[in-house]
Amino acid sequence: MKYALRQRQYRTIIVGMLLGSASLFLIGSDERNLPEMAPQSEKSEKHFIADTRGEAVDNEGTRLGFRTFGTDEAKLSVTSFKTPGGTKVSALHGTFRSSEEATRYFDRTVGASAKLVQQGQKLNKKGRPIGWRAEVTLLPQGSASQSWAVVWTDGKDYWEILSATLADAAELEKRYAN
């Protein structure tokens, strides 16, 4: 996947790899204080501190016909977090024009992964199905280290959490999930 940055007076940094290719995406950081995502339960001790925010355009996805709401391209918002231990975790989100399109984008992402670990229905807090969810491993081209992604849909919304560990990706998912 090829991603391009929509820049707005940001300091540009390299954040990480996306599924299926060695394409790097760039995002920026604004000068405002970004929020900390504290644990939502006492069992959870992990804090995620938002480091950078920006937008990425999936050029290949756009070429394949994917479109997010209000645009003529596949545009995803990106937020990069750090844990107190320094681990980077990235959250990508896009609202597509239909739930079917979000599911097709999900299927494309899962299909491009190195290994599908788990896949099934995504349930809301009441246990009702709201979309699809998968845990996948990634082995970006040119990299010897494996990374993880938790991806899911919720109606028209597509989410992707990228991390060096499945535990961190799943933990951050809890902050975003319904």
CATH number at residue 163: 3.40.1000
Element (H, E) at 112: none
Residue range 82-128, pLDDT digits in tens: 988 888 999 999 999 999 999 999 999 999 998 999 999 999 889 99
Q: How many domains, in total, are found in the chain? A: 1
CA 97 to chain centre: 18
Specify the amino acid at residue 69. Answer: F
By residue range, what is the domain housing residue 105?
3-176
Whole-prediction pTM value?
0.76
Residue range 69-80, pLDDT digits in tens: 999 999 999 999
Torsion angle, CA of 158/164/170/174, rounded to 10 degrees? -70
